[in-house]
Structure 1
Amino acid sequence: MGDYLADNAYGFLPVPIIITEPAVGYGGGVAGLFLHETDEEKERRQKLAKESLDGGAQLVPPAMTAVAAAGTENGTWVVAAGHRRTWMNDSIRYMGGGAIGHANIDIYTNPYDLDFIGEIPALKFDTETDFAVIMQQVQFRLPKTNWLLGAKQVWSTSTLESSNTLVDMTLQFMDLDKTNNSGLGLVVEYDSRDNMFFPTKGYSLNADYMWHREEIGADHDYDTLSVEGQAFVPIGEKWIVAFAASFDSISTDETMLTPTANPYIDLRGVSAYRYQGDQVATAQAQLMYRIDNRWTILGFYGLGYTHNESLSPDFGNCFKSNCVKNSTSSTTVDAYGAGFRYQIARRYGLHMGIDLGFSDEEQALYFTVGTGF
C-alpha cells in the first residue's frame, strides 16, 4: 500500500470503517483518503522513501482530502467530507469539512440527592437527532517554532426528539427540538510529533475557546473550552510510552441546552455520552511494544472525571426559598484494555488495529486507525 501511494501523485487510500461504539451499536462504512502533491514534492518524497522504510512518513503531502460514509445497526448514519491544506512549508494550515447525518443516542441524567428520599440515580432516555454541520479553521505558524495560532468557525443545525413523552415535551417547551448553532473561536496548537498518523516520539497540544452567540447565528449563548495533549516517549528501539490528557468545559447563563451539548468522558471502554458534565477531564497512559516494522502490541489505562452544577428540588426549605437549591455532583470512571496495530503503509506510517476496552459497566471492541487516543 505504501509503495502504491509513493508512486502516485494523487494516491487514493480506501480505509474500511468498522464501528463497535456501544453508544450507537455495531456498524461500518468506508472512507477514502486522497493525497495530493506536485511532481517536485513527489520526487522529494520518493527519494527519501528509498533511503528508509518510513521515509515518506516525514513528508506528508501538503494537501489531503477525505470522504466517508458510515452507518450502524441502531439507525445512526453519517456522510462526511473534509480537506486539509498547507502552504509555505507548513507555515499556514487550513482545514475544513462538513457532515450530515442521523444519530440515535441514549442520554443519562446526573444523579442528585432529593430530601426525604435520598439519592436519585441517573435516568436514561433516548434521543434522535438529524444534523448538518460545517467546520473550518486556519492557523499560522510562529516563525521557526512548532507553535501555531489560528481561528475556528463552526455552524450546525439540528432537530431533536425523544420517544419519552415527558422528555419530548420538555424539549419542545424549551425550544430545543430545533436548534441552530454558530460559534467562533481561537485555536492554539503545538506539534513536535514525528508522524501525524502514528507518532513514536514528540508532543502535541491543542486548545480552543469557542464563543456561541445569537449575534452570529446561534439560538443559545454559551462558551466552550477544550484542551488536549499527547506525549510519546521512546524507550530503546522497541518500547514506546504514550500519555494523553484532556479537559473540556461548557459555561452558560441559559436555563437548559440540548442534551448533547455538554462534553462527555471519551475513553476506550466507556460509551460516548454515558458520563457528561459541565467540566470533564480525562487522563490516559499507553505502553506500546514494536514487534517488528509491521506489528505493534499495546496496553492502556484511562481515568475520567465529570463535575456538574445544577438546580435540584429543596422541599425542606420551601417556606424560606423557591423550593430549589444549587447542587453539585461528580463522577469518576476508569477504563483499561489492550490491542494491536498493523502498519498498512510503511512509507506514511499508517497503522490500523483493534483495541478491547473494559470499564465497570461495559466492554467494547474498537477498530481504529492511528494510536487509539
Structure 2
Amino acid sequence: MSIRAHALCLLACWLMLPCAARAETGGAALFRDAEDGQFDMSRWLLEHRGFLPVPIVITDPAVGNGGGLALAFFHRPKESDPTAAEADGAPRMVTPDIYGGMAIRTENGSKAYGVGASLHFDDDRWRYRGGVADASMNLGFHTPGKRLPPLEIDYNVDGVVSFQQGFRQLGNRDLYLGLAWIYMDVDIGFDVASDRDNFTPKELASRSSGLGLSLEYDNRDNTFTPSSGWLGMIEGNFYLPGIGSDGAFQSYRGHAYGYWPLGKRLVLGGRLDARWANGEIPFYRLPYIDLRGIGSARYQDTRAGVLESELRWNVTPRWSLIGFVGAGRTWGRHNSFDDGSSQVSKGAGVRYLIARALGMQVGLDYAWGPEDDTFYIQVGSAWR
C-alpha cells in the first residue's frame, strides 16, 4: 500500500521566485554556495532552523494525480562537524535529522495525513525511523492467474497506519541491527459489494500488528544521492494475534542497492529487491512490483522480485541526466514462477544538486510501463 509520493518540488515557483527575490535584496549569500556560487540550499536547511514548506506531487497510476503539502524540518546533529572530511580529502556529507508532517489528496478521492521522522543519536550509533498516518485510499486489486479470472476489484482502505523502527550500530562497522513495530487498523470497503465474496475472512482482516527484525549494512557516501558504496538489508516481520493482529502471517524483504563511479562523470547504480509473504496475509498487504512506470500494487502475489539499473551522467557539477530500466515478476499464490510474466519499465530524468553539503539532488523522471507512462518528482534517490 505504499504510495509513490515524492516531495520537495524545490525548483517550482514557490521556491525559486522567493529565492530570486531574496537575492535581489541582499540575501543572496544564504542561497548561494560558497564554493561555486550556484543556487544551493545547504545553509538554509542546516543552519537557519531547517524549516521548509514542501509541495508534494503525486503521479502514481494507482491513485491518479494529486498533491499536498508537507512541513519538513532539517537539523544538523550535534556530532556532525561541518568541516570534517573523508580519508580521501573529499568533504563529508551531512546526514541530517528530518521530521515533519504532511497532507495529500488525489483525483480519485484518496487522501492521507500524518507525521514522521528520521533521527540519529550518539554519533549515529542509534537511529530511528517512523511515522503515523491516517489514510483513506481508493485502490484497485488485480487478480491474475488461475485462482480467479483476470479482473480489477476496486476497493477503499480507511484507517490508521503506524511504523516505528529503531537501529543500533554493531561495533564500529557500517552494520545496524533493527527492531520494528508495524501496526495497521483499517476498514475495507468495495465499490461492488459482491466483490467481497472473492476473499476469505482472513484475507479481509482489518487489523495487523507485527514485530520485525532487520540487519542493515550501509557504506554509501551519502544517504540522498549516492555516487559510491552500497546499501544491503534483510528483514522479517511477524504478525501474531498475541500482539493485536487479526491473523498470523509473516512478511520478508531482502534488497541491495549498489553505486559504482565510472570515471569522473558517470555513476552506475544497480538494485535487487525481493519480497515475500506467508500465512494469513490480507489481500491488500501482498507484495507487489515496485518500479517507476508501474502503478503501486498493480501486480501482486505472495512473491515479488525486481531488478533495476540506473546510469547517471554528471553533465556539470550541478546538473545530471539519468536513464533507467527495470523488470519485475510476481508469483506464488496465483501463479508459479514459470507461469508469471515479467513486467518491464524504463525511463529518463534530470537532476539538480540542490544541497551540496547533503549530497542531495532533486529532479524529474519520466517512466514508461506496460500500461502507463507518467512522471515523478524525485528528491534524492528513487530507490527507497
Short-chain TM bin: 0.7 to 0.9
After superposition, the C-alpha distances for 1:24-47 in whole angstroms (9 at most, x for unaligned) are 000011223212346x557x31x4
2:95 to 43, 46, 60: 60
Partner of residue 116, structure 1: none
1:284 is the counterpart of 2:308: yes
Q: Which runs of 5+ in 1 are unaligned?
A: 114-119, 312-325
Partner of residue 135, structure 2: 101
Report deviation, 1:365. 1.3
Distance in 2 between the 1:96 and 1:354 partners? 26
| Structure in which a larger fraction of residues adopt strand | 1
Report deviation, 1:121. 4.9
SS in structure 1 opposite 2:206?
strand
Partner of residue 31, structure 1: 70
SS in structure 1 opposite 2:250?
strand
CA contact (8 A) 1:300 1:338 kept: yes
Alignment of 1:23-172 (within 5 A): 23-37=62-76, 41=79, 44-45=81-82, 47-48=83-84, 55=91, 58-61=93-96, 63-112=97-146, 121-169=149-197
SS in structure 2 opposite 1:260?
helix
Distance in 2 between the 1:144 and 1:178 partners? 43
1:364 is the counterpart of 2:374: yes
CA contact (8 A) 1:154 1:183 kept: yes
Report deviation, 1:71. 1.1
Distance in 2 between the 1:236 and 1:328 partners? 39
Partner of residue 43, structure 2: 3
Distance in 1 between the 2:370 and 2:203 partners? 33
Partner of residue 16, structure 1: 55
After superposition, the C-alpha distances for 1:254-280 in whole angstroms (9 at most, x for unaligned) are 3xx432111000011111111001110
Partner of residue 332, structure 1: 342
TM-score by length of structure 1 reads 0.85
Distance in 2 between the 1:41 and 1:140 partners? 17
SS in structure 1 opposite 2:242?
helix
The structure-2 alpha-carbon separation of the partners of 1:70 and 1:327, relative to structure 1 and needing over 3 Å to count, comes to: closer
CA contact (8 A) 1:78 1:99 kept: yes
Distance in 2 between the 1:207 and 1:14 partners? 34
CA contact (8 A) 2:143 2:152 kept: yes
1:216 is the counterpart of 2:243: yes
Partner of residue 364, structure 2: 354
Partner of residue 189, structure 1: 216
SS in structure 2 opposite 1:4?
helix
Distance in 1 between the 2:146 and 2:173 partners? 48
TM-score by length of structure 2 reads 0.82
The structure-2 alpha-carbon separation of the partners of 1:48 and 1:141, relative to structure 1 and needing over 3 Å to count, comes to: closer
Corresponding letter in the other structure for 1:4: W
The alignment yields a C-alpha RMSD, in angstroms, of 2.3
Corresponding letter in the other structure for 1:202: G
Distance in 2 between the 1:265 and 1:73 partners? 23
1:174 to 177, 201, 209: 201
Kindly name which structure, 1 or 2, has the bigger radius of gyration based on alpha carbons: 1
CA contact (8 A) 1:269 1:357 kept: yes
Corresponding letter in the other structure for 1:99: A
SS in structure 2 opposite 1:330?
coil
The structure-2 alpha-carbon separation of the partners of 1:343 and 1:327, relative to structure 1 and needing over 3 Å to count, comes to: closer
After superposition, the C-alpha distances for 1:271-318 in whole angstroms (9 at most, x for unaligned) are 11110011100000000001112211000010101112359xxxxxxx
Distance in 1 between the 2:357 and 2:246 partners? 47
Report deviation, 1:131. 2.0
CA contact (8 A) 1:262 1:278 kept: yes
1:273 is the counterpart of 2:283: no
1:259 to 283, 298, 304: 283
Report deviation, 1:169. 4.8
Partner of residue 275, structure 2: 248
